[in-house]
Chain A
């Protein structure tokens, strides 16, 4: 292809040659596949979005795609009912109170730990790292009973914490930090390890200590990795229902959006239309987080460092 665009003469000779054809065809097939996959992936979400604007009677009688042909009968009732029916303001606040520390704590700890695993020498380093990676395979559910028991013993329940004047979210912060750490450390230490060793040696000669190297060289160079990790961890905590339900139960003052939403739907599946609206509403926040962090995915952040 580069030859074809290099000059007009070569482009005319190269046109319709087998090479040109296979390049074009390859590009075309690739685009069709990517667009097809994207559409297939989005269909359920679009269905959910459309359903959230339909009348409850229509939802139970016909598929969401029928709404796309006239007569159009859309309504905002589901959204207004959802706001009226639930304590959504409080749950949103709770979700933020849970998600932000439960993202900041593990990512911060993981960055320190990953730096140590990647660039500091200490006995048993590789074995500890191996054990940590092994933790990735432990199913979440396995931990619920022992951890809950310990939390109760230590008084880490929302009721008790509120009574002694501490934030009732602490059990969730700890739990999410614990569940997120193995993956976070694994991801970041792999990234840190790939930083050129010359940079560290140069900094050492320049007189930078371990912490200075960490804050002034490793962290700025790892912004893309940290940003992706923040997104991962935030999404996981924001969308989590199970962990919140287990550790803080149905305490309304602590329950995040996910727990409140589930409670909107009756046990026989009635009020289904409210769930569609609520689910869409809860997606706004992760979307904002993702889009606002997107600009940190700078390609080639290491360019100019060690290549001639």
Chain B
């Protein structure tokens, strides 16, 4: 159990190739922190620097109060679950889990106790003698978790552990992982490119793009108050609507939409952002409204998504499933201005 601090951390491969730039995050003790971002954004590198698999070019990483820059991976008191599981194929499930303990020269009885305990938690009791190749994907994944659990590390590192599982199992394992986190009361750092995993599992989320940390916050904060255009577009599915707009006297004008901004933004050009669920089929008198020429209608039972043109911009709307709309129709839709964002044209930072 310990906090983890990234203090101005840089990872540079060559003079021209910097994959993590001035990375600052403080992960609290027992927190479930998710590092999320598109592939190649540096999130895995950030995790691997903490694991001790990559050298740190600049800055400091601390686990608790200890600076671990020059501490060997095995002495950092961490455990890592790899995307590929990285099980030892020639060893039984038992030996796979016992391996890290044997490396610590732990007594046989203690090893046995810990492995048995971990296998009970993970429901692997009946598979201890099997080789990894005789297990299903989900079981292998649990063995990989078991190998991490037995060490009772201070920090758990998980590098996209769910991406090799099928959709149903992924949902199930997501819940099991959260339960595990509660039971173990340990710091978890979880890397993923999947924003749904990030939103559902993280106590807090750190979003990265192109090696730069974009925003850190709880899922709610990030969803409701994205710090910039990238975060706004990355989190949420379907993605937030972005329409270019000009501002004149407190009113934002887009090609097919006019909105009075709730507060002054101090810019004349930018991007208006609103989530699909902010677009409704109820038009409030005097409130903003738009005419949408509907191209595609998706009925999901609980939701109905309309994809269409508003002026010259593409807009997605999430409306009541009972609303009768067909492709080709033109409908009048309202906009809930409470969850509206405005991003600066230059810096792409959120002004509202």
Contact present for B100 and A196 (CB under 8 Å): no
The winner among A216, A300, A301 for most chain B CB atoms within 10 A is A216
Contact present for A305 and B103 (CB under 8 Å): no
* B137 to chain A: closest residue by CB: A308
Tell me how far the C-beta of A301 lies from the nearest C-beta in chain B, rounded to whole angstroms: 7
In whole angstroms, how far apart are the Cα atoms of A144 and B155 in the complex? 61
Q: Which residues of A contact B89 (CB under 8 A)?
A: 221, 301-305
Query: 0/1 per residue, B68-101, Cβ < 8 Å to A?
Result: 0000011000111011111111100000000110
Contact present for B103 and A212 (CB under 8 Å): yes
Name which of B57-65, B127-135, B192-200, B281-289 contacts chain A. Answer: B127-135
A199-B133 contact given A208-B103, A212-B103, A308-B165, CB 8 Å threshold: no
Q: Which residues of B contact A307 (CB under 8 A)?
A: 84, 164
A306-B88 contact given A201-B53, A206-B74, A206-B100, CB 8 Å threshold: no
Contact present for B87 and A304 (CB under 8 Å): yes
Contact present for B133 and A196 (CB under 8 Å): no
* A219 to chain B: closest residue by CB: B90
Q: Which residues of B contact A201 (CB under 8 A)?
A: 51, 53, 80, 82, 86
In whole angstroms, how far apart are the Cα atoms of A300 and B132 in the complex? 12
* A303 to chain B: closest residue by CB: B133
Interface size on A, residues (CB 8 A): 25
Tell me how far the C-beta of A223 lies from the nearest C-beta in chain B, rounded to whole angstroms: 9
Contact present for B135 and A206 (CB under 8 Å): no
Say whether B142 faces chain A, with CB atoms less than 8 Å apart: no
In whole angstroms, how far apart are the Cα atoms of A220 and B95 in the complex? 14
Q: Which residues of B contact A203 (CB under 8 A)?
A: 88, 99
Tell me how far the C-beta of B41 lies from the nearest C-beta in chain A, rounded to whole angstroms: 20
In whole angstroms, how far apart are the Cα atoms of A216 and B89 in the complex? 11
A305-B137 contact given A205-B51, A205-B74, A205-B78, CB 8 Å threshold: no
In whole angstroms, how far apart are the Cα atoms of A221 and B131 in the complex? 13
Say whether A198 faces chain B, with CB atoms less than 8 Å apart: yes
Contact present for B74 and A305 (CB under 8 Å): no
Contact present for B88 and A199 (CB under 8 Å): yes
Contact present for A205 and B73 (CB under 8 Å): yes
Interface size on B, residues (CB 8 A): 32
Say whether B318 faces chain A, with CB atoms less than 8 Å apart: no
Query: 0/1 per residue, B2-13, Cβ < 8 Å to A?
Result: 000000000000
Say whether B104 faces chain A, with CB atoms less than 8 Å apart: yes
Q: Which residues of A contact B90 (CB under 8 A)?
A: 217, 220-221, 301
Contact present for A199 and B86 (CB under 8 Å): yes
Say whether B244 faces chain A, with CB atoms less than 8 Å apart: no
Contact present for A206 and B133 (CB under 8 Å): no
Partner of A305, one of B52, B78, B88: B88
Contact present for A196 and B86 (CB under 8 Å): yes
Say whether B140 faces chain A, with CB atoms less than 8 Å apart: yes
Query: 0/1 per residue, B282-303, Cβ < 8 Å to A?
Result: 0000000000000000000000
Q: Which residues of B contact A139 (CB under 8 A)?
A: none
Q: Which of A262-308 contact B (CB under 8 A)?
A: 300-308
Contact present for A304 and B80 (CB under 8 Å): no
Tell me how far the C-beta of B107 lies from the nearest C-beta in chain A, rounded to whole angstroms: 16
Partner of A207, one of B51, B80, B103, B164: B103
In whole angstroms, how far apart are the Cα atoms of A171 and B104 in the complex? 44
In whole angstroms, how far apart are the Cα atoms of A217 and B86 in the complex? 12
Say whether A126 faces chain B, with CB atoms less than 8 Å apart: no
* A221 to chain B: closest residue by CB: B90
* B169 to chain A: closest residue by CB: A308
Say whether B116 faces chain A, with CB atoms less than 8 Å apart: no
Contact present for B86 and A304 (CB under 8 Å): no
8 A-B contact pairs sorted by A residue (CB < 8 Å): A201-B53, A202-B147, A205-B74, A206-B74, A206-B103, A217-B90, A305-B132, A306-B87
What 3 pairs across the A-B complex have the smallest Cβ distances? A308-B164, A304-B133, A304-B132
Interface residues of A (CB under 8 A from B): 196, 198-199, 201-208, 212, 216-217, 220-221, 300-308
Additional 18 contacts, C-beta under 8 A, given A204-B73, A205-B51: A198-B82, A198-B86, A201-B53, A201-B82, A202-B147, A203-B88, A203-B99, A205-B73, A205-B78, A206-B147, A301-B89, A302-B89, A303-B132, A304-B89, A304-B134, A305-B85, A305-B86, A308-B137
